[in-house]
Structure 1
Amino acid sequence: MIRAQVGSFSAKSALADSVRWFPEQVSTAPAVNTRKGQTLNLLLATWVSAINFWAWNMIGPLSTPYSERLSLDATSASVMVAMPILVGSLGRIVVGALTDRYGGRTMFIAISVASILPVLAVGFAGSIDSYVLLLVFGFFLGIAGTVFAVGIPFANNWYDASRRGFATGVFGMGMVGTALSAFFTPRFVDWFGLMTTHVVVAIALAVTALVCVAVMREAPAFTPNTDPVLPKLAAAAKLRVTWEMSFLYAIVFGGFVAFSNYLPTYIKAIYDFTTVDAGSRTAAFALAAVIARPVGGALSDRIPPKYVVLVSLGGTAAMAVVATLEPPPDFWSAVTFTAMALFLGVGTGGVFAWVARRAPGNSVGSVTGIVAAAGGVGGYFPPLVMGATYDTVGEDYTFGLLLLAATAFAAFLYTVFRLGAHEPARTKT
C-alpha cells in the first residue's frame, strides 16, 4: 500500500508540473534524464555565443577612427554601425526554425564557420578605407549575430522547465562578447594592426567550431522537428505570445544592442574621450548587462517574469530621461549608463524566461527565432535615429533618448494592463 501511495504521489506531481507549464500539452511519456553533461554544454554554448557576439560587434568599437578616416557624418557612421545588426536580427528567424530541425550543436558549428569569411572581409574593407565595402561586408557580418536564436532552444532542451530561466540567463551571458569587442578590439588594432585583429577573431571562430565538433553534444531530450520551415514559422507567427514577447524584447535587447554598438560614437561626441577610453566605458556597459541577464532569468524562476520585466522597463525609461541631462563624467555618467545596462540586462533574462514558460515545447526554436529577431531589429533603428537626429537638431542626442524613454514607458503600461502574470502556454491571436 505504501509503495502504491508513493507511486501515486509521484505521478500526481509529474502531472501537476506538466499542467503548470504546458496545460494544453499534458504528456504521460517518461521523463528523459538530461542532467549528465548539461553544465558543460551550457557553458560551451555560452562561449560560442561570446565569440560570435565579438565578431558581430567588430565595426562598432572602431566607428570613430573609421568616421575620421572616411570623413563620415553622424548619419553615415550610424548606418555603418547598424548594418551588421540587420542580418543578425532577421536571420534569427530562419536560424531558430533550423535549430528545431537540426539541433543546436550543428547550428553552432555552422554559424561559427560561416562568420569567418565576413570577419576577414570587414578587416580588408577597413584596411583599404572603403565605406561601400564596409557596408556590404558588414551586412554579411550579421551572420554571427544569429547565434542567439540557436542557444535558447539548446539550453531549454538541457534543462527542465523549473530551471530554464537560469539556463537561458547563463547562455545570455554570451552577450559579454560585445564587452570583449568594445574593450579589446581598439587595443588589438593599436597593438597588432587592423587586419591582424580581424585574423585573430577569425581564428577564434575556427577554434570554437572545432571544439564544438569535439566536445559539444545535443541534449537527450532533443527531438528534431522535421516539419517544413515556412509552415512552422507561420504557425509560430499565429501565436499571441510570439508578438507580445517580440515587442518587449525589441526594447530590452534592442536597447542593449543599440548602445553596445553606438555608445563609442556617443561617448566620443558628448565627452570627447579617445577611441580606447570610449571602448572601455562601452565594455563596462555591456558587462553590466551581461551580469544582470542571468539575474533576471533566475528571478523569473522564482517570481512571475512579468514583474521582472516591469522593473526593467520602468528603470530603462527613467535612466534614458536622466541621460538626456548629459550627467558629467566620469562618475555620474558611469552611474547612469551602468544602471541602464543593469535594467536592460535584467529585462532580457526576464523576457526569455517568459518565452520558455509560454511557448509550446516543439516550437520553442521558431518562437525564439522571431522574438530574437525582434530584439535585433530593435537594436537596428536606434543608432539610425540617434545619428539622424544628431545631424538635424544641432548635434544633440536628446530626441533619441526621449524616444527610448517613451517607448519603454509605453511597453511598461502595456505589460501592466494587457499581460497576465500567469499566462497559458499557448494563446492564439
Structure 2
Amino acid sequence: MSSGAHVRGSSARSVNLALATWVSAINFWAWNLIGPLSTTYAEALSLSSAEASMLVATPILVGSLGRIVVGALTDRFGGRVMFIALSSSSIVPVLAVGFAGSIDSYTLLLVFGFFLGIAGTVFAIGIPFANNWYEPARRGFATGVFGAGMVGTALSAFFTPRMVGWFGLFPTHAIVAAALGVTALVCVVVMRDSPEFVPNTNPVIPKLRVAARLRVTWEMAFLYAVVFGGFVAFANYLPTYIKTIYDFSAVDAGTRTAGFAVAAVIARPIGGALSDRIPPKFVVLTSLAGTGVMAVVAAFQPPPDFWSAVTFIGLAVFLGIGTGGVFAWVARRSPAASVGSITGIVAAAGGVGGYFPPLVMGATYDAADNDYTVGLALLAITAAVALLYTAFRLHAREPDTSVQAHST
C-alpha cells in the first residue's frame, strides 16, 4: 500500500469511528430519556419506589435483548445500514415517550418506554463496525473509543432535566428526535463500511446458535453483565438514588449522574487501550476488585459532596475500565465471521445486567433507615464472584482467533 493510500485509509477509519461514536451517543441519550426524569415522574404520578424502578428498567431490558438480533443483522448488512435504520426507527418512540409524559400517563410511559429500548441496541452495531476498520492490535483502542458513546447517558442526565425546564417536556423529546433524524442523514452521506467487511449471509438463527455454542460468548457475557450492567444501572437509577439519600433536586441529581457517566466514558477507552498492551484479564480483574470495594464504601453513605463524589466517580472509573477491557477481550477471542453475533449476545447480557439492579434497589430500599445497603451489598458480592471466576478460570493469553478467521 502506498503512503498516500495509507493516509486516506487512516483518515477514513478515523472519520467513520468518530461518526459511529456520535451515533452511539445520540442513541444512548434517547435510550436514557426516562432515567433523568424518573424523580419528576414519580412525584407527578405519585409512584412507589417499585413503580419508578420499573419505569427506568423497561427500556433497559428491551435495548438489551434486542442487541442479540441487531448484532446478527450487523454481520449481514453492515454497520452503515444498521446505524441508519436504528437512528431512524428510534424517532417515533422518543416522540411517543414525550407525549406520554406530557399527559401524565404511567401506562403509556411503560408501553412507549418498551419501544424506546430500540435505541439501546446501538452497541451491538458499533463493535463489529469498529473491528472491521481496525487491525487486531488496535481493536481495543477502537472499541474503547466507540464505547465512549456512552457519554450519551451523561448528556441525557445533564441536559434533559434542564431542557425540560427551558423548553417543556414534549419539545425536549422533539429536539432529541430531530437530532436522531439528522444523525441518520449524516450517516447516509458520510458513513461507509470498511473495505474489510464481508457480509455474512447465513440465516440469523443458525449464526446465533453457532455463537451460543462458543465458550467465549458466555464467559464474556457474564463479565459484561457485571461491569456494563453496573454502569447502565447506576446511569439510570442514580438520579433516584441521589435524590432519595441526599435530597437533591432533579437537576442537581442529574448533574451528579452526568459526572458519574462522564467518568465511566473516559475510563472505557483507557480500559480498551490498556488491553492492547497487557492481557485484558488483568484489566478486568482490576475493574472487578475496584467495583466491589466502591460498592461497599457507597453502602456507608459517604457525606456529600466531596466524599460521595469520590465514591461514585471511583465506581464509574472501575466500571468503565472493565467495559473497555471486556470488549477488547471479545474482539481478541472471537472468530471474525461471528463477531457481530457474539457481540450481540454479550452486549445483551450487559444490558440485562443493568435491568435488574434498579428493580433490586427499589425492592430492597429500607425506607425506615433511608438506605440501599442490601442492593449495594449484592453488587459487591457479584463483583467478587466474577473476580474469582476470572482469576481462576480464564487464561491471561489465548490464541487470537480473529486473526485466524481472517486468514482462512
- Which residue of the partner structure matches residue 140 of structure 2? 165
What is the distance in 1 between the residues matched to 2:369 and 2:256? 25
CA-CA distance at 1:423 after TM superposition: 2.3
**SS in structure 1 of the partner of residue 200 of structure 2:** coil
Closer/same/farther in 2, CA of residues 93 and 34 from structure 1, 3 Å limit: farther
Which residue, 142, 156, 160 being the options, matches 1:185? 160
Aligned to 2:3: none
Cα shift at 1:396: 2.5
Structure 2 partner of 1:123: 98
Partner of 2:89: 114
Question: Percent of pairs identical after alignment?
Answer: 76
Give 3-state SS (helix, strand or coil) of 1:129's partner.
Answer: coil
The AA in structure 1 aligned to 2:230 is G
CA distance in 1, matches of 2:367, 2:79: 45
- Give yes or no for contact 2:131–2:139 (8 Å, CA) kept in 1: yes
Can you list the C-alpha shifts for 1:192-245, whole angstroms capped at 9, x where unaligned? 000000000000000000000000001000000000000000000000000000
Match of 1:333 in 2: 308
Q: How many angstroms apart in 1 are the aligned matches of 2:360 and 2:342?
A: 28
Asked if 1:255 is matched to 2:230, the reply is yes
**1:358-373 superposed matches below 5 A:** 358-373=333-348
| 1:409 equivalent in structure 2 | 384
Q: Which of 21, 39, 46 is 1:64 aligned to? A: 39
How far the C-alpha of 1:393 sits from its partner, in A, is 7.5
Aligned length: 396
State the TM-score, normalizing by the size of structure 1: 0.91
Q: Which runs of 5+ in 1 are unaligned?
A: 1-30
Out of 275, 286, 295, which is 1:320 matched to?
295
Q: Determine whether 1:206 maps to 2:181.
A: yes
Instruction: Tell me the distance in 2 between the aligned counterparts of 1:49 and 1:222.
Output: 20
Q: Deviations over 1:344-364 (max 9, x none)?
A: 000000000000000001100
Give the distance between the partners of 2:296 and 2:78, measured in 1 at CA.
42
Where does residue 282 of structure 1 map in the other structure? 257
Name the CA distance, whole Å, in 1 between partners of 2:36 and 2:66.
23
Work out the CA distance in 1 between the residues paired with 2:195 and 2:341: 20
1:23 maps to which residue? none
The residue number in structure 1 matching 2:406 is none
Aligned counterpart for 1:83 among listed residues 43, 58, 64:
58
For the aligned residue pairs, the C-alpha RMSD in angstroms reads 1.4
The reply on whether 1:349 has 2:320 as its aligned counterpart is no
Deviation string 1:68-93 (CA, Å, 9 cap, x unpaired) is 01000110000000000011000000
Letter in 2 for 1:320: A
Which residue is equivalent to 1:242?
A: 217
Task: Tell me if structure 2 keeps the 8 A contact 1:295–1:349.
Answer: yes
Q: Distance in 2 between matches of 1:134 and 1:323?
A: 31
Question: 1:25-44 to 2 correspondence within 5 Å?
Answer: 35-44=10-19
1:34, 1:221 within 8 Å by CA — same for their partners in 2?
A: no
Q: CA deviation at 1:392?
A: 7.5
Residue 208 (structure 2) aligned to one of 213, 233, 237: 233
The list of structure 1 runs, each at least 4 consecutive aligned residues, that deviate by more than 6 angstroms after superposition, is none
Structure 1 residue 390: deviation in Å? 1.0
Aligned counterpart in structure 2 of residue 302 of structure 1, from 250, 260, 277: 277
Partner Cα distance (2:207, 2:11) in 1 = 30
Deviates more, 1:89-98 or 1:385-394: 385-394
Structure whose alpha-carbon radius of gyration is higher: 1
After superposition, the Cα gap between the structure-2 partners of 1:392 and 1:333, relative to the gap in structure 1 and judged at 3 Å, is closer
- Any gaps of 5 or more consecutive residues in structure 2? 1-5, 403-408
Q: Distance in 1 between matches of 2:372 and 2:109?
A: 25
Q: Where in structure 2 are the equivalents of 1:17-28 lying within 5 Å?
A: none
Amino acid at match of 1:173: A
Say if 2:194 is the partner of 1:219.
yes
Contact 1:82 1:383 in 2 (8 A): yes
CA contact (8 A) 2:271 2:325 kept: yes
The answer for the alignment partner of 1:419 in structure 2 is 394
Residue 265 of structure 1 corresponds to which residue in structure 2? Answer: 240
SS of structure 2 residue aligned to 1:37: helix
